[in-house]
Amino acid sequence: MAVLAALVLGIPLAVLRAWVVQRLWVWFVAPTFGVETPKVAVLYGLAWVVGLLWPTPSTAADPVDYERVVRYVSTSLFMSTVGLVVGWVAHAFV
């Protein structure tokens, strides 16, 4: 059941992270380098590619429990919020 909860919550959180990256791209990358803003779906796919290429320790043997799911969700929400707020503040001063 915890695996299902991780999947159901993981996809919207990944889309949220892609949206935050898109906002940061609009604020900093596009004006600096004069490039177009990618769609959220493109950034979502890019995150998958980077995740496949970036080595991570295997936790496949560890059971998925609700504590890990809650920790993942809260960390993802916190990091997305902090990234967006810090980017917004920095953008206000640029």
Contact 32, 92 (CB under 8 A): no
Q: Which residue has the higher pLDDT, 1 or 17?
A: 17
C-alpha–C-alpha distance, residues 6 and 64, integer Å? 9
Tell me which residue range forms the domain holding 73.
64-94
Looking at residue 55, its pLDDT comes to 74
Q: Judge whether 9 lies within some domain.
A: no
Write the pLDDT tens digit of every residue in 15-71: 999 999 999 999 999 999 999 999 999 999 998 898 888 876 656 556 667 788 888
CB distance 13 to 77 below 8 Å: yes
Total domains present in the chain: 1
The answer to whether position 78 is within a domain reads yes
| Residues 2-16 pLDDT 10s | 778 777 888 899 999
What is the structure's pLDDT at 18?
Answer: 94
Specify the 3-state DSSP secondary structure of 54: coil
Counting every residue written for the chain, the total comes to 94
Model-level pTM?
0.81
